[in-house]
Amino acid sequence: MAVGGNALTRADQPGTAEQIESNAAQMASGISNLCEAGWSVVVVHGNGPQVGHLAIQQEGSVDLVPPQPLYSLNAMSQGQLGSVLVRAIDTIRGPGTAVGLISHMVVDPHDPAFRTPTKPIGPFFTETEAAAMAERRGWEMRQDAGRGFRRMVPSPHPTEMLELSAVTPLLAAGKVVLAAGGGGVAVARDDQGRYHGVDAVIDKDSAAARLAGSLKATMMILVTGVDAVMVDYGTPRARAVHELSLAQAERYLAEGQFPAGSMGPKIRAATDFVRESGGTTVITSAERMLEALDPQNRVGTHIVPEQAMSEEAMSIA
């Protein structure tokens, strides 16, 4: 399952340690419910707000200590949020239940994403504040889904998680595994076989799809702020869809139904996983994710291979 960094530091919160821990406790309850239902669970969390806050702290103290690169900040936030979530899960299910795995994701240094930064990190700013930040710090600032301006950084496609072989034995031992936190620390391999950190923030849904496909998972849950995906959003024809075939989801994506700054990355990650694994992706809210796993409940949106489509969904499509 993939959980956004915004679920741990909400848009209306400054992101204190107490707030992050409170939000993590709520998320841990949902994760525990999945375990109770018999699932083996791997959690991929985002880090957009937190890594952006760390970047601001780095810049603000440059006269006192040397600032660290973005890939190091990703590692810091991976440890921070992993610790919070591990403790929240262990509080419910017992000490040692959850394990946080510091993870590195291989990316292509020539990925076009490095030329067009699209990943928002850090807090929201007004247009005036954003212009000042861009001038003072040299950051690329852009509107984020109409909620305000945020810093944009490259978000390349992950190709491999270096610690993949550690996940399966941990699951076999009954652990809840937190992996690829913040999308994983982005690294690239040089000609001598060494891995170097890359300044980028990998999208957590894309990282979850890469990891879930490699693990041959049967189900991937992408947690978001709504119960189900909407099509024709913003029009009188707007409606929730509870089941989409792989081809239907890809067609809607190509038609522009799911913008890049909104549901687009989730649909793209969902289709990547379904195409590779033949499994199912569920997109829904944190409150309803257990309920959404059963398609009979018509909660959430299931994206499935063509052969798994229900007759009702085929007739609606």
| Digit-coded pLDDT (tens) for 230-254 | 999 888 999 999 999 999 999 999 9
Q: Hey, where are the domains in the chain? A: 1-217, 220-317
For the segment 88-110, the average pLDDT, to the nearest whole number, is 97
- The answer to whether residue 88 scores a pLDDT higher than 80 is yes
Domain 1-217 matches domain 220-317 at the CATH topology level: yes
| Digit-coded pLDDT (tens) for 2-25 | 998 888 988 788 889 999 999 999
| Digit-coded pLDDT (tens) for 16-65 | 999 999 999 999 999 999 999 999 999 999 998 899 889 888 877 877 88
For the segment 180-207, the average pLDDT, to the nearest whole number, is 95
Q: Which residue do the tokens 């979850």 mark?
A: 208
Asked if 45 and 178 touch (Cβ cutoff 8 Å), the reply is: yes
3-state secondary structure of 14: coil
Tell me the β-bridge partners of 226. none
The yes-or-no answer on residue 175 being catalytic is no
How far apart CA 92 and CA 164 sit, in angstroms, is 26
Tell me, which fold does domain 1-217 have in CATH?
Carbamate kinase (3.40.1160)
How far apart CA 184 and CA 47 sit, in angstroms, is 10
Asked if 52 and 125 touch (Cβ cutoff 8 Å), the reply is: no
Asked if 211 and 202 touch (Cβ cutoff 8 Å), the reply is: no
The yes-or-no answer on residue 119 being catalytic is yes
Dihedral of CA 97/8/202/295: which sign?
Answer: positive
Residues 6 or more apart in contact with residue 223 via CB below 8 angstroms: 1, 2, 3, 4, 7, 284, 285, 286, 289
The yes-or-no answer on residue 6 being catalytic is yes
Tokens of 132: 């000042």
The catalytic residue among 184, 213, 266, 279 is 266
- The answer to whether residue 108 scores a pLDDT higher than 60 is yes
The CATH classification number of 220-317 equals 3.40.1160.10
In 3D, which of 313, 226, 239, 223 has the Cα closest to residue 2? 223
Q: Which residue do the tokens 């989801």 mark?
A: 249
The catalytic residue among 4, 23, 30, 119 is 119
* Per-residue 3-state assignment (H helix, E strand, C coil) for 36-90: HCCCCCEEEECCHHHHHHHHHHHHHCCCCCCCCCHHHHHHHHHHHHHHHHHHHHH
DSSP-derived letter for residue 258 is S
pLDDT for 315: 47
For the segment 78-85, the average pLDDT, to the nearest whole number, is 96
The structure's pTM equals 0.90
The catalytic residue among 4, 5, 100, 181 is 5
For the segment 116-134, the average pLDDT, to the nearest whole number, is 88
The yes-or-no answer on residue 216 being catalytic is no
The yes-or-no answer on residue 266 being catalytic is yes
pLDDT for 310: 61
The catalytic residue among 4, 52, 204, 300 is 204
How far apart CA 140 and CA 134 sit, in angstroms, is 6
Asked if 47 and 210 touch (Cβ cutoff 8 Å), the reply is: no
Q: Which residue do the tokens 């052969």 mark?
A: 307
For the segment 192-205, the average pLDDT, to the nearest whole number, is 95
- The answer to whether residue 82 scores a pLDDT higher than 60 is yes
Q: Name the band, by pLDDT with cuts 50, 70 and 90, for residue 118.
A: confident
More confident residue, 111 or 295: 111
